[in-house]
Structure 1
């Protein structure tokens, strides 16, 4: 394998979009690309989309894969990070998918697979709103909801390797069914998908909304985009405002409980919904969390927006892959084990 030129690629795989970025050793993005995730089409389509997005980012950076040292991928889980396998994903329609080995086979470069929100959190820790802080809870609200826990300046994955799955915290026993198969999860009540479902439900009940015409044109009404929700929210659409406030309230309850347990210095909120709705949404979440966080009566814990926006996951994945030794898939996989690559320190 030829040696690259201090470049890494970070890929952020989400339920709605895939973003790839070519990043240099100073953490500058030289080229980026973003495409829609073929979430309902399975493993083959997902791998092809990731590779296509990666290739587009390389073209924008005016470089090629031979100049790349390694690839970091952030993906919804749960995952087997040592084997590079997506064990399951409620938002990607895959089971036991060897994404790391397959991507390494196609590109000829070592691949490091990690949780997508953990990678976004790592980006915020090193380059964004988490700089100069040691204890953080970072939560991204998008198609689903995921979390990243930072203690003593280190991202913690826990004994299972999957710590931070705040979206699957039960908040209503026997409640709405979540994509993970359980009922009453936070994600089923506070994610963008949950907001969309609530809007659709209220409109079908006859509630007036400026999104009625928009929904009539969609093949999947529950897939409203964050910008659609934002536009209607800013116009004080009653159906949308109720759905957004409901989401913020449930998320705040969960965060207040986490503050009681963890007492982080900061809670950082990111993801498509937070980016679209901004401080209006964060204010709602903050108010709900404050009521629940009885262990923080002086409101010492800050609840703030992420700083890196859409780039957080890709930057975090690129930086993570540079700073950590590549973990190969086991010999039983279909991917040939190569020599251990040398990682370049930033």
Structure 2
């Protein structure tokens, strides 16, 4: 049997896993990224971790057919280059070639959200659908599109930055340096910021009673308070959902996905966010589109990136 190694590289942690051709993970390990150590050190530690996983999973090294990596930021998958990954301090890093030299295995890389969405498309919530639009609501907001088993990347591999659609010219400054990007509202960071701002302005909330310092409030706290009936938290999630729904009403007529998968930590808000999102999206769509796109939550959790990168690498090897 052929196996693949899947690696999900994040700014804080790296997930490494061994999986079979059906996408079942045999064994997985997490390690700190330590981006300040540099690309060479990170790739050497990935290599060492994978070698330990082979042994612990009882898989012979020669049975590992390929290695796949999901990497944040801009990636050129055709040459295996990380063009720019801000959280890793990587610019023009030939990741595939470096890891191939260390492991002796074929290596394929792509953007981490594309790998996450591909994993959900072929082994998770997107199974049975042909056109899958995946969204991750985390520190920022990102998206990817999988169509009939292929990944849509756009010109110069730049497709997917839904988080940087400008929605409020009078809004706050985004991490990208522009003002009023969608992810300043629709992200875990944006959800927490909205709640903190309203509390500082004097609005009542269960969160005010629970946190002496409002800067400690996180999106998960807002979601929890909303489920407990907190009006402010519910309003924040409703506004967030409606802003996302408005953006998706632009996406749906352009790409015509048959399912939208919502993942990332922000998705834990559940229907308090996705209910308003669905309502706003369908209210703005032409009748031909409204109600015809399924909305599903991601099913694979933290495994999606590992599964997606491993299975994508296997699919490329087969070509």
**TM-score w.r.t. structure 1 length?**
0.77
**Cα 1:106/1:241, change in 2 over 3 Å:** farther
Matched, 1:284 2:276: yes
Deviation of 1:91 after TM superposition, in Å, equals: 4.8
**Cα 1:205/1:232, change in 2 over 3 Å:** same
Deviation of 1:97 after TM superposition, in Å, equals: 3.8
Q: Which residue of 2 aligns with 1:243?
A: 236
**Cα 1:280/1:98, change in 2 over 3 Å:** same
Deviation of 1:214 after TM superposition, in Å, equals: 5.5
Q: Which residue of 2 aligns with 1:71?
A: 67
Q: Which residue of 2 aligns with 1:306?
A: 298
Q: Which residue of 1 aligns with 2:313?
A: 321
Check the 8 A contact 2:226/2:272 in 1, yes or no: no
**TM-score w.r.t. structure 2 length?**
0.83
| Alignment counterpart, residue 20 of structure 2, candidates 24, 28, 31 | 24
Matched, 1:114 2:110: yes
Q: Which residue of 1 aligns with 2:92?
A: 96
Q: Which residue of 1 aligns with 2:147?
A: 151
Check the 8 A contact 1:27/1:315 in 2, yes or no: yes
Deviation of 1:232 after TM superposition, in Å, equals: 3.0
Q: Which residue of 2 aligns with 1:177?
A: 173
**1:160 is paired with a residue of what secondary structure?**
helix
Q: Distance in 2 between matches of 1:83 and 1:198?
A: 41
Q: Distance in 2 between matches of 1:36 and 1:202?
A: 35
Matched, 1:138 2:134: yes
CA RMSD, Structure 1 to Structure 2 (Å):
3.3
Residue segments in structure 2 that go unaligned for 5+ positions in a row: none
Q: Distance in 2 between matches of 1:50 and 1:238?
A: 46
Check the 8 A contact 1:134/1:153 in 2, yes or no: yes
Q: Distance in 2 between matches of 1:33 and 1:114?
A: 20
Q: Which residue of 2 aligns with 1:258?
A: 251
Q: Which residue of 1 aligns with 2:76?
A: 80
| Alignment counterpart, residue 265 of structure 2, candidates 262, 272, 275 | 272
Residues 49-106 of structure 1 deviation map (CA, whole Å, 9 limit, x = unaligned) = 7567656755653557565322111122221223333322455554334443444444
**Cα 1:108/1:175, change in 2 over 3 Å:** farther
Q: Distance in 2 between matches of 1:159 and 1:76?
A: 18
Check the 8 A contact 1:259/1:295 in 2, yes or no: no
Q: Distance in 1 between matches of 2:33 and 2:286?
A: 40
Residues 292-339 of structure 1 deviation map (CA, whole Å, 9 limit, x = unaligned) = 2235465122222222232222111100111104xxxxxxxxxxxxxx
Check the 8 A contact 1:141/1:270 in 2, yes or no: yes
Q: Distance in 2 between matches of 1:213 and 1:60?
A: 44
The number of equivalent residue pairs is 317
Q: Answer 1 or 2: which has greater helix percent.
A: 2
**1:184 is paired with a residue of what secondary structure?**
coil
Q: Distance in 2 between matches of 1:255 and 1:21?
A: 33
